[in-house]
Amino acid sequence: MKPLSIFSGLAITALLASPAWGHGTAEHNKPKAAVVKEQKPWGIAGDAKQAKRSIELRMSDDMRFSPNRIQVRQGETVRLVVVNTGKVLHELVIGSADELKAHAEMMKKFPNMEHDEPYMAHVDPGKRGEIIWTFNRPGEFEFACLIAGHFEAGMVGKIVVTAAGKPSAAVPANSAPTVASTSTSAPAQASAHSTHKH
Ligand SMILES: [Cu+2]
């Protein structure tokens, strides 16, 4: 097995980028500096050594992720292996629903906008990339492909980070109001609530 390197993957992406994507700038051809670990609401860049679990996520030209929902525990470092099974460039970007939506709007206005962060993987057709991420904040987040038009076509998925110490079945959205409910079907409840966030 060939070891995967996110750095070489990105370098190849930069060199082979289609003109529409416009990643071939001098900035992108520089060797990537060490990842800056900046705390985000959806976690922080992780160390490969800490990644005890790999999750494979496939991206296809029908603008879908498979699976489109993943669940991790707070504090868990995960290796997200992002496979592009399609014929066009796709990417996976982790974020909050609001942030991804705003970012997608920007990408529509400025399709050549450069963006490269440790919570993103831009993956050429037939290739794979990876993200090592530590989900150290509980809550509901999303992953999306922000290439112009893809997000709008529904290329988005959900990440549920269960709070440390809680059973994984109980997943309260962190800002969801307490609603009297006798239902124990947590996933349906949780996703219904997430659309009502303010
Ligand atoms: Cu895409």
Domain positions in the chain are 6-164
Query: Residue 122 in contact with residue 10, Cβ under 8 Å?
Result: yes
Distance 117 CA to ligand 1 centre (A): 17
Asked whether the predicted pLDDT for residue 112 surpasses 70, the reply is: yes
Query: Residue 121 in contact with residue 80, Cβ under 8 Å?
Result: yes
| Tokens encoding 168 | 């994984």
Distance 111 CA to ligand 1 centre (A): 13
Distance 61 CA to ligand 1 centre (A): 7
Distance 183 CA to ligand 1 centre (A): 35
Q: What is the pLDDT of residues 18-74, one digit of tens each?
A: 334 434 334 444 455 566 799 999 999 999 999 999 999 999 999 999 999 999 999
User: What pTM did the predictor assign?
Assistant: 0.68
CATH superfamily membership of 6-164: Cupredoxins -  blue copper proteins (2.60.40.420)
